[in-house]
Structures are given as C-alpha cells and as structure tokens.
Structure 1
Amino acid sequence: MHKFNSGGVEIAYQTAGDGPPVLLIHGFASNARVNWWDTGWVKTLTDAGRRVITFDHRGHGASEKLYDSALYPAAEMAEDARRLLDHLGIGRADVMGYSMGARVSAFLTIAHPDRVRHAVFAGLASRMITGVGGAEAIARALEAPSRDEVTDNGARAFRIFAEQTKGDLQALAACIRSSREKITVEELATIRVPVLVVAGDKDEVAGDVETLVKAIPGAEGVTLPNRNHMNAVGDRGYKDAVLAFLA
C-alpha cells in the first residue's frame, strides 16, 4: 500500500490493473480492502480492462487518524479523492462510491465535473438528499466502553462492523459527526456527467433510488431485489449494471 500527503493528511491508496482509470470510494467504518477487494470488485474491474484505484478515507484503514470532527466534512473528503487523482497524474476517471463514499463521490462530481467521466452512486440514494440521521447515536456507540452498553440496535450494528474492520473507534466517531452532509436538489441538478444510482430494495440507509435519479439530469437507476445495505455491495447484479454502464 502506498501513501501520499493530501492537504496535510496522510492517505493510503492502492492501484491494480491497466486501462481507463476507475476510482473507488468506500463507505463509513469500512476500508478499501473490505469494501472493494474482498467483495471481488477490484478483480471484476481489472478483468474488464480497467485500472482500479482504491484508498482509505482519512480516519479509516491505513490512512491517518484524526480526532476532530471539523476535519471530516464530506466535501473535504472529496478533495482527498481529487488530490489522489492529482498525485497519480490522472486527469479524468470514472468514480464509484458506496454509502458515505457515494456522498463523497457526489461532492467530487459537483465540485470538479472536469475530473469525473462517469459516476456511480451506490448504497445511498434518496437519503443523500433527505439525510440519513442517527449520527450522534452512532458516535456514542463507537465511544462506549463496550458494545454491550449500546442499546440502539442500528448504532450497535455500526459498532460491531467497526470492530470487525479493526477501525479506530474514536476517529470514526469524529467522522460520523460531520460527514453526513445533505446535498440539495439544486446542487444535484448541476451534474452533467452520466450517473448510475444503485441500491438494494431493502436498504433503509440508502432510501429509494428513483428520488435521486429524478434529481440528477439523465441519471439511470438500478434497484437490487432482496438486498440491504450490507449485502448489496458485492451483489452480482450491481456489478453487471456497473460494467454495462461504464462500457
């Protein structure tokens, strides 16, 4: 794994394959390995003739841990992605984000449309606009001395997942307190690159696909049957839809 300096924050990244570049942006409390490598996404895309770039968000994985929530706005995390493209000398790339990574991808697409060829927003749909909620409950769950003290089932699930991914619980708590920024319909309406929205039909975190599709000019949408927030990410139908979209 390589590292580079992104505005004073050390960010860890990996690349694989050759061909047109695609930048993958993982979700909250996950990391590039769990989100993209272990689910077969990197192999799927390299087999399709793509150069794949993955990285760990600030506060996640092998990247630098920060403990001030003011350092985790999604717009700034999007700048980490943009700086990584700069570091690698990549002018434009296809970009795909999952969950929090979809929000970061949207901020990147809005702020730097010249850097994004196609965008895939997955695991976050209508709630990119309306908000997800529950950030403080999740932060408190992450800060609790033990998962056994967490009574909120949704927040407890994040605590368990963060422990499974060996995340830094204090850094993740700081992140969740500021990274769930809403994006307005007016901001989304400025997007002019091709966009694909993907989410499971049982994904309560993501919300419905159609609302986000309607907000983005020319966007396409795919709803994955019988998939929730956790098991949609490696879904074969998701992969097939993205390959067809990028092709």
Structure 2
Amino acid sequence: MSASSFSSFDGARLAVTVMGEGRPLVLVHGLFSSAEMNWIKFGHAAKLVEAGFQVIMPDLRAHGASAKSHHAGDYPVGVLTKDLAALVAHFELDDYDLAGFSLGARTCAKGVIDGLAPRRLALCGMGLQGLSGWKNRSAFFIDAIDRFDEIKRGDRAFMAKSFMKTMGIDREAARLLLGAVDDVNSADLAKITMPTALICGDKDQDNGSAKELALALRDGRYREIPGTHMSSVADGAFGDALVEFFMN
C-alpha cells in the first residue's frame, strides 16, 4: 500500500492511496468519509486486491488528507468531477473500472456523463432521486454544520454530527464543498452506457431508490446487500458484491 498526493486541475493537492497490482479500479468514498474509512478499514480494498485489482483511492477535496481550502474560489461547481478527471489523467488510465459510494457515486456518475469511460461502473448507496435532488440533501448537511455545537442526541442531525466529529471534518471547507456539487440531469443518464452495478443496502433509502436507478440506466444491475446507508458500507457483503461485479 502506498500513500501519496497529486496536483489536481487547479493545483490543489489531493491525497491518494494505492493498493495491489493488476487491473486499475478507482474507488471514490462518500461524504465526510475517506479512502481509509470507506474502502480499507472494513476490508473491501483487500478483497479487490486479492481478486487481482490495483485499487486507486483518492481522498476527496476537503476530506481526509486532501486540501481543505477555506477560499470559496477553490470550490467551483463540479469541482469533484474535475478532480476525478484529474486523477484519471494523473495515473494515465485508459482501460479501468470505477466505483463510488454515496457522494462518490454521484461524482462517478457525473464524471462518466462528462466524458470518463470506465469499462464497468458501480454506483453504491445511490438511488435515482439522489442524483438529481442534491439541493435538499446538501441543505441537511449544511444545517448540521451550522448547528454543530447545539445538536444533541435525538436531533435528526445527531448521526451526521457524530460522524463529522469522528472523522475530524474541517467544517468550513466541507460547507464550501457542499455548495459546489451539481445535480445530474435525468436526460443525461443515457450517456451512462457501460454495465453499471447499483449496490445498495436493503434498508438504505437515503438517496432514493437504487432499483429505479438501475431501471433508468441502459445496463443497470441492482445488487442488494444488508444494511442501512451507514451500516451497509461496513458489511463484508459490500466488498463481496464489488468483487463479483468487477470480476465478470
């Protein structure tokens, strides 16, 4: 396993962890998470490496060990998609696979719509409504950031606060990033033509219906695993589903 960084399209330094040798597979983590938390801690990356993949796992801007600027100009609309394209260019990837969880899934979907061309794509913890309803989703997290010190147990934002605290999130940088994520136009889903797995917990409706998203894509394949939005990503079945999909 090697940890390094690369310079994105605007010069921001973004952290990236690489494990294994073999077919490149880019893994993009979810909101307030990191490569370590999303992919490494629960063994998903190790399973993929054992299956013969080289996993390339960036920390998103304002997350993990990546740049956490407090300047609004460093968060243009679509910045995460631009960062993903910069990662693919940095590693000179041509024949590769791509997967993302939650915010990472929306970033991967938008990246493909904007021109990235992985062989296979996995959109995990993501449903049809989640791709186009970012304004309401981001408003919830912005509120959690703004009320951070006053949120108590029993508040619907308590879990988000707890996870931000656990991950040591820079709330000012995260707030700026939340405003830079753009929606996916439903008409643009036609541009996602490669085999696409929709891997989602059986109790996860945080980003809408993964089954409906599978039906909306040209080659969408729904894969149900146990858990909620938070627990499914920690379940071994998540890594197993990724291996099964990308090995075929």
CA contact (8 A) 1:96 1:102 kept: yes
Number of aligned positions between the proteins: 243
Q: CA deviation at 1:74?
A: 6.8
Residue equivalent to 1:234: 234
Q: CA deviation at 1:130?
A: 4.4
C-alpha spacing 1:17/1:152, structure 2 compared with 1 (3 Å): same
CA contact (8 A) 2:128 2:207 kept: yes
C-alpha spacing 1:57/1:129, structure 2 compared with 1 (3 Å): closer
2:170 aligned with 1:168: yes
The 5 A counterparts of 1:85-96 are 85-96=88-99
2:33 aligned with 1:30: yes
2:24 aligned with 1:14: no
Report which stretch shifted further, 56-65 or 85-94.
Answer: 85-94
Residue equivalent to 1:185: 186
Q: Within 2, Cα distance between the matches of 1:102 and 1:41?
A: 16
Q: Within 1, Cα distance between the matches of 2:222 and 2:70?
A: 36
CA contact (8 A) 1:203 1:228 kept: yes
C-alpha spacing 1:151/1:70, structure 2 compared with 1 (3 Å): farther
Q: Partner of 2:230: helix, strand, or coil?
A: coil
Q: 1:127 aligns with which of 129, 136, 139?
A: 129
The 5 A counterparts of 1:1-247 are 1-7=3-9, 8-68=11-71, 71-72=74-75, 75-114=78-117, 116-131=118-133, 133-144=136-147, 146=149, 148-149=150-151, 153-179=155-181, 181-225=182-226, 227-247=227-247
Deviations 1:197-223 (A, max 9, x none): 111121131221211011110111112
Q: Partner of 1:187: helix, strand, or coil?
A: helix
Q: CA deviation at 1:72?
A: 4.0
CA contact (8 A) 1:128 1:183 kept: no
TM-score by length of 1: 0.90
CA contact (8 A) 1:102 1:121 kept: yes
RMSD of aligned alpha carbons: 2.1
Gapped runs of 5+ residues in structure 2? none
CA contact (8 A) 1:143 1:170 kept: no
Q: Partner of 2:7: helix, strand, or coil?
A: strand
CA contact (8 A) 2:198 2:222 kept: yes
Q: Within 2, Cα distance between the matches of 1:211 and 1:72?
A: 31
Gapped runs of 5+ residues in structure 1? none
Matching residue's letter, 1:200 = G
TM-score by length of 2: 0.90
C-alpha spacing 1:17/1:2, structure 2 compared with 1 (3 Å): same
CA contact (8 A) 2:127 2:205 kept: no
CA contact (8 A) 2:98 2:121 kept: yes
Percent identity of the aligned residues? Answer: 28
C-alpha spacing 1:82/1:92, structure 2 compared with 1 (3 Å): farther
C-alpha spacing 1:240/1:216, structure 2 compared with 1 (3 Å): same
